[in-house]
Amino acid sequence: MEPLKTFASRTVILPIDNIDTDQIIPARFLKGTTKSGLGEKLFSDWRYDAQGGRKADFVLNRPEAEGARVLVAGDNFGCGSSREHAPWALFDYGFRAVVSTSIADIFRNNALKNGLLPIVVEPALHQRLLDEPGVEVTISLEDQTLRLADGTTAEFTVEPFARYCLLNGVDELAFLQSADGDIAKFESRPAY
């Protein structure tokens, strides 16, 4: 995984609350055995009509969405299923951060393992981001800040170990493996 440090991008906004993982990636696209190609299917039922044509009014189909790496969405983003295909699809499409007022637990955990930053901001800043679609933001994981062009800066929190892994492009599995001695000791305890 590539390290994720500081990046700047325009935003794309989806001002809907409770966007669930079935909207992010419908279940019919979960039949693969690899992670590849899911970006094309991202928000499939909102993005394409029944014949597969692009719906002109959906934000990801508009020219201003091209190249955007930051998605600003309504409250409780990523609720629903545990499918890691949701952050895989967002990442594959090109997003590197999702900004909301709250983010569902399992989605948040999955996103952090896949180079996609789940960023929770205060309602006032969230509203401003929704009111100014396409605004340029700079996100620094090192400083844990989201900055607007006028200097407005919001701090956000990422769990220290997840942040360490993202900044260094490493994953959690090696760390768990390094605990082998403690795990073996734990396993030798009586069952009841």
Partner 1 sequence: MADSKPRTLFEKIWDAHIVRPATAATPAILYVDLQLIHEVTSPQAFSILRERGLRVRRPERTVATMDHSTPTTPRGADGKIKVLDSAAAAQISQLETNCRDFGIELHALGTEGQGIVHVIGPELGVTQPGMTIVCGDSHTSTHGAFGALAFGIGTSEVSHVLATQCLLQQKPKTLAITVDGTLKPGVTAKDLILAVIARLGIGGGTGHVIEYRGSAIRALSMEERMTVCNMSIEAGARAGMIAPDETTFEYLKGRPRAPQGADWDRAVAYWRTLPSDAGAVYDREERFEGSALEPMITYGTNPGMGIPIRGAVPTPDGATMEKALKYMGLTPAQPLLGHPIDVVFIGSCTNSRISDLRQAASVFKGRKVASNVRAMIVPGSQRVKKQAEAEGLDKIFRDAGADWREAGCSMCIAMNGDQLKPGQYAVSTSNRNFEGRQGSGGRTFLASPLTAAAAAVTGKITDARELV
Q: What residues line the site for partner 1 (CB under 8 A)?
A: 15-18, 20, 22-23, 26-28, 30-35, 45, 50, 74-76, 79-84, 87, 102, 104-106, 109-110, 113-114, 159-161, 164, 171-173, 175-177, 179-180, 182-183, 186-187, 191-192
Q: Using CA atoms, how far apart are residues 72 and 79, in angstroms rounded to an integer?
A: 15
In the complex with partner 1, the residue whose CB is nearer, 9 or 107, is: 107
Nearer to partner 1, 9 or 23 (CB): 23
Question: Least distance to partner 1 from the beta carbon of 8, Å?
Answer: 28
Tokens of 9: 């991008």
Cα separations in angstroms, 136 against 8, 38, 61, 139, 156: 7, 26, 19, 10, 17
Query: 22 or 143, CB closer to partner 1?
Result: 22
* 124: three-class secondary structure by DSSP: helix
Give min distance, CB of 140 to partner 1, in A. 20
Conformation bin of residue 183: beta by default, left when phi > 0, alpha when psi is -120 to 50: alpha
Nearest approach, Cβ of 88 to partner 1 (angstroms)? 9
Burial of 36 (0-12, 13-18, 19+ CB in 10 A): exposed
Task: Provide the angle, in degrees to the nearest 10, between the axes of the packed helices 85-93 and 105-112.
Answer: 50
Contact by Cβ (8 Å): 170, 4:
no
Closest approach, Cβ 63 to partner 1, in A, equals 24
Least separation in angstroms between CB 66 and partner 1 = 25
- Residue 9 or residue 84: which is nearer to partner 1 going by CB? 84
Q: How far is the CB of 151 from partner 1 (least distance, A)?
A: 30
Our CB check for partner 1 shows the closer of 62 and 113 to be: 113
Give the number of other CB atoms < 10 A from CB of residue 66: 10
Nearer to partner 1, 9 or 116 (CB): 116
C-alpha separations of 109 from 9, 83, 139 in Å:
23, 11, 19
